[in-house]
Each structure stands twice: as structure tokens, then as C-alpha cells.
A and B are shown apart, each in its own frame.
Chain A
Amino acid sequence: MESVCILGAGSTKYGKLDESIIEIALTASVDAIESAGISPEDIKAGYISNVFGVADKQVHMAPVIMSNLGLSHVPGLTIESACGSGSVMFREAFANIRAGFYDCVLALGVEKVTHTGTNQSTTLFSYCSDFFYEGGNGASFPGLFASIARAYMTKYKADEEDLANVAVKNHENGLLNPKAHVRKRITVEDVLNSPVVASPLKLYDCCPFSDGASALILCNEKFAKKSGKPYIKVIGSGRGGSPAAVQGRKDISTIPGTVIAADQAYKMAGISPHDVNFAEVHDCFTIAEIIDVEDLGFFQKGKAAKEIREGATSRKGRIPINPSGGLKSKGHPIGATGIGQIVEVFEQFTGQAGERTIKNAEIALTHNFGATGASAAVHIFKKVN
């Protein structure tokens, strides 16, 4: 088995972008290639994650992107797994390097939806649910997570202020990220007074619809060392699944796929949750981050709200969560999000995170899932000094 490294990373700003989906995809790809200091011809395969390309009149994304990079002869693969597309795709790129099929590949996530407007985006996202039981019965994505929030709050006596604390913390972090979609300081009162989207979730409990693209260059360690450029290592990878419909879960206050993926990743890395110095987790809604940090083993079930309130997940806390601003502030271009999380880890570990830098961090974790957690992936990274 080959050791898998990340040699380069690039990302567009997340937000409402005017360029086409292909243009933003190529911008991130070129940034990653130049960051790695490689020649395009070094890329032996392209892995692309995207969900709603059809909304910008482009599917079969991978060969189109590879062709526009002058690499039409290089095999490409497009992967869709709802909001978890990026990390699910990353796993495939990782597996192919690890198995020795390729020594260097491009992993690119991209999404463009803001031009469709809030109503159509809400509808498109509902197609990511188990539609027969959820979207088809009137559940939007905020609605699904709102039902999860109500179940969690009922079971563990959490309240809406506990949810708001997540939003306030992530917006604070996003202020330091020049590529974040929503760079705005907010208070608990702002969250509690924002319009209800699907009770108990309010506008500031929800991440924005975002456009954006993020890209990585993955390679084996021999290739990375030969380049002479800074790189980081992927030391753990896990994939898990959950019942696609919320109704199918025995406990609605947990996401089984996260627990399964985390367990695999920790075992592969040979570490425990206590060894992780910071994490980028899937905070599509504030309740998701509370559940994530428990399912990932950072806190006991039912204890995260208290820990977050006391600052354990702030940038200077015991386990900083989402120093990038997370989906909540940095934004959520769903095909790109999982890759964007790893771009943040790369920047943190290669001295490019500026004021966001988590001091003395050596090990980081990323967690990303599709829909309400039906497809989940966890990856663990190590700084190379």
C-alpha cells in the first residue's frame, strides 16, 4: 500500500459567483496544480464531484474539465453523493493512489446553484432526500434537520440558544477567511431573532446556498518527496452509511454513518478522538455540528451543547471545530464542500492559514456527509515537518 499525500490545493471564493461552473472548476484546478508545482501532464486521473451541474447546463463534468485542462486523454470520473460528494470522491482518489493505480491525481469539487434562486435551490436540494418519504411529503432540507434538531433537543434538553452558539462561533471564524461566503459577525440574539425557516431552525441556523470550487493534488509519498514542495499525509479514511430516510433511524439524535466512518478512520490512523488537534465538520445546520462532534467522539452524547457554550470548540478551545468558518460561514457549494474542508487542512499545515492558524496542530480531521448523513466520510491528516 502506498502512503497518500496532498501536494497542492486551490479554491475559489465561496459565494455567489458570476462565472460558469466550468470556469470556476478550472480556476480551482489551476490553483491546485500551481500550488503543487507540477506539470499538468503529471496528472494521471481526474476525480470530480458535483451534484447540480444540470442547473448550469453541464453534466458529464469530468471529461469536460479534463479536456479544458488539455488532458482529454486522461480518465475522469464524476461522483455525486449529495452534500457529501466531495469527501466521497476524495475517498476514491485516495484509494486509487493507495492501491498504486496512479502516482498523482486531481480531485476537484464544484457547484453552482445560486443563479437558480432560493425556491428552486430548496426544491433541488429536496431531491437529495429519500424523496418518496421526505421531499415528496413536503420536507425541505432545513425541515429534515429541523426534525432532527427537535428530536435532539427533546432527548437532551438542549435549546435554541445552544444551536445559536454554533452559528456565532463559526461566523467568528469565517471573519478570518478571505474566501468565506458570509463574513459577518453575529450574536446569539441575531440568530434567535432571525426568521424561522423550519421550526426550530431559523435563518442563521442554516448554511447559505453557495457557488464555489475547491481542488487538491493527491500523490504517493515518493512523488511528493521528489517534488520538493510542502505536503501533508492522509493517515486515515473511513466511509459509512445511514438509513436514507430519517424515519429509518433507531435514534434520530445521531448519524450512524458518521460513527461508522469515524471508527474506520481512527483505526486506520491508529489514533483516538483525543489525538485530533482540530476538525472541519459538516455544519450544514447548527444542529448538525452538535451531533457531529458527539458522533466523532470529541464529546459524550448529549454533552456537546454545554462544551460549545463553554468554548471548547472555539479556535483556542480544547478541540477547535471549523476554523475555516465551516459550511455555515465559509459556505456550502455542495459538490465542493468536502474538498474545501481538506483545502483548509492543507493551508493550516503548510503555513497558509494566516490568523486562522491553529497553533501547534499536527493532526486534523475532516467530516462530511450527504443529505441527512446517508453517506458519510471521515478523513484524518498529519502535518509533515
Chain B
Amino acid sequence: MKNVTSIGVREKFISSAQNSKILARKCKDCNTIMLATILYCEKCHGKKFNLIEYPGKGYVDTFTIHTVPPEGFEDVESYAWVVFTVDDVLLRASGFLPGIKKPSDLPIGSEVEVNGFDKKHGLVLKKI
């Protein structure tokens, strides 16, 4: 039986996000933590992991506010695309944060939380 499979991983990640969690893999050999969608360890290339759900809270590393959005996001009045670091873990994720109109609405370091996974807009965040 294979230690690693890609089948169903995204669905599990989405399911975790719908419960405001971030699904990650922790390498059993070197303890490196990666998003669950990465199949082999980035550091030691190990194949054995523990799947861990982390609370989907973190702080903003960087972001942008789109004036010209891609297809599927034209209906959103104003939003930020955010890269954030999950609290207490050396792990970054990114998501869609509606309602942000200007950069001063979201200073770097602001706290955000996963607020579900939307079929149309992907990983949804909220500011806390």
C-alpha cells in the first residue's frame, strides 16, 4: 500500500477549511509541516506523515486589493487576496477576504481566520 496518495487530498483540505481549519502534513522523519496538498516532504523527501488540522487563525504576511478581478470575482465589490501565516506553525496559506476596500483596512500583521471554502471563491477568510 502506498504511503502517499493524491486522491481526495484537496477534498479533505476543503472539508477542513469548511470547519475553519487548515489541513497540514507533519513529516514523521523531520517534523517539517506542509499544507496537506504537498505529497512528499519538502525538506527530507520523506513519505510518512501525520495529517494534522490546525486552527485556521493566523496573521497577514502580505495582500493585495484587486481593482480588475479575474473571472468569477466580478460580483464582489471589493476584496483582498491574502497570504497569511498560520498561528504557531511555520506554514503559510492564502485566501479570499471580502470587504477590504483600502490598504489601511488590513495592516500587515492583522489577524485573520478561515471562514469556510466557497465553491466560487475558494478559501474564504475573515478579519478578526
B-contacting residues of A (Cβ < 8 Å)?
118-120, 122-123, 126, 132-140, 142-144, 146-148, 150-151, 154, 195-201, 245-249, 252
Interface residues of B in 59-109 (CB under 8 A from A): 61-73, 76, 79, 81, 83, 92-96, 102-103, 108
A-contacting residues of B (Cβ < 8 Å)?
10, 35, 37-38, 61-73, 76, 79, 81, 83, 92-96, 102-103, 108, 121-123
- Interface pair A147/B70, CB less than 8 Å apart: no
- Interface pair B67/A198, CB less than 8 Å apart: yes
Interchain nearest-CB distance for B78 vs A (Å): 11
Q: Considering the complex, give the chain B residue whose CB is closest to the CB of A152.
A: B62
- Interface pair B68/A138, CB less than 8 Å apart: no
Q: Give A144 to B69 CA distance when docked, in angstroms.
A: 12
Report chain A residues within 8 Å CB of B69: 122, 138, 140
- Interface pair A150/B66, CB less than 8 Å apart: no
Report chain B residues within 8 Å CB of A132: 10, 37, 122
Q: Give A106 to B38 CA distance when docked, in angstroms.
A: 38
Most buried by B among A138, A154, A196, A197: A138
Q: Considering the complex, give the chain A residue whose CB is closest to the CB of B93.
A: A247
List 22 A–B pairs whose Cβ atoms lie within 8 Å, in order of A's numbering.
Answer: A119-B68, A123-B71, A133-B122, A134-B94, A137-B94, A137-B95, A138-B72, A139-B64, A139-B66, A142-B64, A142-B66, A150-B63, A150-B64, A195-B67, A196-B67, A197-B66, A198-B67, A199-B64, A245-B94, A246-B83, A247-B94, A249-B92
Report chain A residues within 8 Å CB of B73: 138
Q: Considering the complex, give the chain A residue whose CB is closest to the CB of B64.
A: A146
Report chain A residues within 8 Å CB of B72: 138
Cross-interface CB contact of B76 among A135, A138, A151, A249, cutoff 8 Å: A138
Interchain nearest-CB distance for A111 vs B (Å): 19
Q: Considering the complex, give the chain B residue whose CB is closest to the CB of A148.
A: B62
Report chain A residues within 8 Å CB of B62: 147-148, 150-151, 154, 252
Q: Give A197 to B68 CA distance when docked, in angstroms.
A: 6
- Interface pair B81/A137, CB less than 8 Å apart: yes
- Interface pair A135/B70, CB less than 8 Å apart: yes
Interchain nearest-CB distance for A154 vs B (Å): 5
- Interface pair A199/B103, CB less than 8 Å apart: yes
Q: Considering the complex, give the chain A residue whose CB is closest to the CB of B119.
A: A136
Q: Considering the complex, give the chain A residue whose CB is closest to the CB of B100.
A: A199
